[in-house]
Structure 1
Amino acid sequence: MPVVNARIDASAELADPALVNVYGCTVGPGTRIEPFVEIQRGASVGARCRIGANAFLCEGVSLEDDVAIGPGVMFTNDRHPRAVTAAGTLMGPEDWTLEATRVGAGAVIGANSTILCGLSIGAGAWIAPGSVVTRDVPPGASVAGVPATPSHPSSLLNPAEAS
């Protein structure tokens, strides 16, 4: 798994460079990237972020500073994915529209969450593990579920504490 044409700050840490696929992206200072992560060209990761194992950051994803991405988090960048065009030929880069996603400073995205494309996740937002985010998340909001909806932060960790 390669690290190719990526601008990675010297203070960033790749837990095991042989076990990541990082190419054509930027990674800020103090960021830690765990094994089996893919960060595609055109993605950007800010300072002091933590990217958990098996996460996928596709082209068009932008993380501001201090963002935590849990293990297995998946981002998307195509609202209408298809394998072939209407004419039956394999789709190429010209056959789809990239939809960018921005994650604000200090946001936390829990393990195994899926973030649909074209969204904005506000600064300090908290997304519970296993959530599917289909709409923008306001700054400081806590969301959970499929689809992700507003939730009290304590209920995200312990359902018995929900108010």
Structure 2
Amino acid sequence: MLKQVSLGEGVVIHQLDLVNLYGCSIGAGSRIGAFVEIQKNATIGQNCKISSHSFICEGVTIEDGVFIGHGVMFTNDLYPRATTANGDVQGSEDWTVVPTIVRRNASIGSNATILPGLTIGEGALVGAGAVVTRDVPAGAVVAGVPARPIAKPMRDEQNKQHGRLQQ
């Protein structure tokens, strides 16, 4: 389903009937896998790859050249609740979106969960299955629950070799 979506030139959406996009922006050359949902006010940069079964919620900004693995989940609410204090079902006016940003050329492994309000730095690598609870510095490699550095940050030369830092 496509509702009020801005698509750049050359965007590829695999199995359009199995993708839910609304009120979002997707940059030129990006590729979107099946069973992906991208919500309103989310932005995907140019030449990104969003793998199947991923969820990109409102308030997430993904810069150019980012890889999102299968089943990656973003969140945007620090204190999620179904109802208000008086028991009514919450509406959009009852909570505040907490934005998240993924910087250029970062990679997020399959089944990672990204908590709200974080920045994943340029060229950073988040391991599969990680739960990211803190900002990830540029070039860092993090994994685990909660995600922690598992290697020294990649040197600029390594990142450039892998296309993760702007040259």
> Under a length normalisation based on structure 1, what TM-score does the superposition of the two structures give?
0.92
1:9 positional shift: 1.2
Partner residue in 2 for 1:100: 99
Alignment partners' CA distance in 2, 1:98 and 1:142:
27
Query: Which 5+ residue runs of structure 2 have no aligned equivalent?
Result: 153-167
- SS of the equivalent of 2:101 reads strand
- Runs (5+) with no aligned partner, structure 1: 154-163
Give 2:121's aligned residue. Answer: 122
Partner of residue 91, structure 1 = 90
CA distance in 2, matches of 1:9, 1:20: 17
SS in 2 for 1:151: strand
2:22 & 2:91 partners in 1: Cα distance? 19
Mapping for residues 37-76 of structure 1, pairs under 5 Å: 37-76=36-75
SS of 1:94 mapped into structure 2:
helix
The structural deviation recorded for 1:87 is 0.6
If the length of structure 2 is used for normalisation, what is the TM-score?
0.90
Provide Cα deviations, 1:104-140, integer angstroms capped at 9, x if missing partner. Answer: 0000000000000000000000000000000000000
Alpha-carbon distance between aligned partners in 1 of 2:109 and 2:99, rounded to the nearest angstrom: 20
3-state SS of the aligned residue for 1:18? helix
RMSD of aligned residue pairs (Cα, Å):
0.8
Percent identical pairs in the alignment equals 52
Cα distance in 2 for partners of 1:4, 1:19 equals: 14
Q: How far off its partner does 1:81 sit?
A: 0.2
Bigger shift: residues 68-77 or 5-14? 5-14
Q: Distance in 2 between matches of 1:129 and 1:123?
A: 18
Partner amino acid, structure 2, of 1:97: T
**CA distance in structure 1 between the partners assigned to 2:32 and 2:96 by the alignment:** 28
CA–CA distance in 2 between the matches of 1:48 and 1:22? 17
